[in-house]
Homo-oligomer: A and B are copies of this chain.
């Protein structure tokens, strides 16, 4: 499906819609409806189970989204978190430089100076997308953080965090104190980040308020113990930076062992790249051939990132591969900067007495983008019907409960619906329309199991107390005792976890 078509379907089903749509909406903001909110929550839980589950020493915290100015000064965001913007001197519309240059320079403007960008705009006679004038200004850096006046004096400035990572860095000292004084220590945050994007677009892919799920692993650069042999042979679909600079974006399948051996990556990096890839393939259920791991070149990465691979998914709705996550080796940049900014040394003393300023490996993930991607990848036509083939544990509503004939079977069905909810199995009761129509509604919502209560269920015959369970993907129907439902379904509703022991 194309983006517009997919968005229309999701909006019609109440998965998401523009914020304040009755007032005409707000650019780059979306509300999640019941299905979208539950799906997003399950994606976040699956991410947490997988990544925080990588170690007994990884923790999820929940810090505030507002940061004092001193923090974003130290992190470099106050100075550098900018996009080049051009303004039309005729109609006063403002645009991101890369968007007005999209045709002239499809590869983007990363690494170009303002002067170089301005020269491109001038040389190609680029026109204002709004009014057609060629009077576009010289590009200027536009800071994408939202600033706030904090307190009543008007003298205190704070910022909505542009990334959750900063909250983890700020918490490192406290987490070290309350923990068991050992590295690696992982601090995960799933929460909102805010960016005043010049040009929000592609629905959930460039929003002004969005969720990030990020795990910061603080480690001793001299020793990151991990069972590398377990992932040694796993092949990853990579596009190395050197190959890209030589003009090819072709995916190579390279084993983790070779990425380390001839490929020059550290073991700890390749190990986490494998686990990251597995998350997208085995947890979110994206087909392996729609995923690639794209290495960023020196010019493309932020200067503090020593190694960066983006995880990209091939999305029909957005016309190709799009970033949905990344693995950043950030070295000691972050703790170093905040050490300087706060005047507190963030080095820690390890058992044995050695002092070390921990390095950071960042595993970053966008639940909003992932939600869109699951719709792009898993939602589609199967003959006449529209089916969202979500992994069972991601389904917003895992179970539908239907009385075959509302008048006769509703009391039993309502009770069963309550019993399932009490047993921790979210479900939706539906008595409206034919069973076929109810199946169709649930297929579109991604519900993997539908339970029907009929005359045999409530009758006195040999099938008393049994229900029919219909499976979304196979359309197969099976009959078994209602009393066994919760136990039989529960294993399908828990997200996979990494093998740890």
Interface-facing stretch out of A143-151, A269-277, A298-306: A143-151
Contact present for B23 and A65 (CB under 8 Å): no
Contact present for A152 and B64 (CB under 8 Å): no
The answer, among B31, B33, B40, B61, for a CB contact under 8 Å with A37, is: B61
Shortest A114–chain B CB gap in Å is 15
Contact present for B26 and A501 (CB under 8 Å): no
Query: How many Å lie between the Cα of A501 and that of B421 in the bound state?
Result: 12
Q: A14-B178, A53-B421, A344-B22 are in contact. Are A64 and B338 (CB under 8 A)?
A: no
Contacts of A56 in B (CB 8 A): 414, 417, 428-429
Contacts of A170 in B (CB 8 A): 19-23, 31
Q: A14-B174, A167-B31, A432-B180 are in contact. Are A22 and B64 (CB under 8 A)?
A: no
Shortest A201–chain B CB gap in Å is 13
Contacts of A248 in B (CB 8 A): none
Contact present for B17 and A174 (CB under 8 Å): yes
Query: How many Å lie between the Cα of A29 and that of B71 in the bound state?
Result: 14
Contact present for B64 and A209 (CB under 8 Å): yes
Contact present for A414 and B34 (CB under 8 Å): no
Determine which residue in A13, A36, A61 has the highest number of CB atoms from chain B within 10 A of its CB, and name it: A61
Contacts of A38 in B (CB 8 A): 60
For chain A, residues 91 to 123, give those with C-beta under 8 angstroms from any C-beta of chain B. Answer: 92-94
The answer, among B36, B151, B209, B501, for a CB contact under 8 Å with A411, is: B501
Q: A153-B94, A421-B497 are in contact. Are A29 and B66 (CB under 8 A)?
A: yes
Q: A13-B178, A23-B341, A26-B158 are in contact. Are A152 and B142 (CB under 8 A)?
A: yes
The answer, among B21, B60, B501, for a CB contact under 8 Å with A34, is: B60
Contacts of A20 in B (CB 8 A): 67-68, 70-71, 170
Contact present for A31 and B497 (CB under 8 Å): no
For chain A, residues 411 to 463, give those with C-beta under 8 angstroms from any C-beta of chain B. Answer: 411, 414-415, 417-418, 421-424, 428-429, 432
Shortest A64–chain B CB gap in Å is 4
Contact present for A62 and B32 (CB under 8 Å): yes
Contact present for B62 and A152 (CB under 8 Å): no
The answer to the question of A328 belonging to the interface, with a C-beta cut-off of 8 Å to chain B, is no
Query: How many Å lie between the Cα of A429 and that of B146 in the bound state?
Result: 41
Contacts of A424 in B (CB 8 A): 490, 494
Contact present for A60 and B37 (CB under 8 Å): yes
The answer to the question of A12 belonging to the interface, with a C-beta cut-off of 8 Å to chain B, is yes
Contacts of A14 in B (CB 8 A): 174-175, 177-179
Shortest A244–chain B CB gap in Å is 31
Contacts of A94 in B (CB 8 A): 151-153
Contacts of A19 in B (CB 8 A): 63-64, 66-68, 170
Query: How many Å lie between the Cα of A30 and that of B171 in the bound state?
Result: 11
Shortest A7–chain B CB gap in Å is 14
The answer to the question of A27 belonging to the interface, with a C-beta cut-off of 8 Å to chain B, is yes
Determine which residue in A167, A175, A209, A501 has the highest number of CB atoms from chain B within 10 A of its CB, and name it: A501
Contacts of A180 in B (CB 8 A): 432
The answer to the question of A1 belonging to the interface, with a C-beta cut-off of 8 Å to chain B, is no
The answer, among B40, B66, B93, B178, for a CB contact under 8 Å with A26, is: B66
Knowing that A22-B344, A56-B429, A146-B148 are A-B contacts, what are 16 other residue pairs whose CB atoms are under 8 Å apart, sorted by A's residue number?
Answer: A19-B64, A20-B68, A23-B68, A23-B70, A33-B59, A38-B60, A56-B428, A65-B209, A87-B152, A94-B151, A94-B152, A142-B152, A149-B196, A415-B501, A424-B490, A424-B494
A: which residues have CB within 8 A of B?
A: 12-14, 17, 19-23, 26-27, 29-34, 36-38, 40-41, 49, 53, 56, 59-68, 70-71, 85, 87, 92-94, 142, 146-153, 158, 160, 167, 170-171, 173-175, 177-180, 192, 196, 198, 208-209, 338, 341-342, 344, 411, 414-415, 417-418, 421-424, 428-429, 432, 490, 494, 497, 500-501
Q: Would you mind naming 14 contact pairs between A and B with Cβ atoms under 8 Å apart?
A: A12-B178, A13-B178, A17-B174, A19-B66, A23-B70, A23-B341, A26-B64, A37-B62, A65-B192, A94-B151, A142-B152, A146-B149, A149-B196, A411-B501
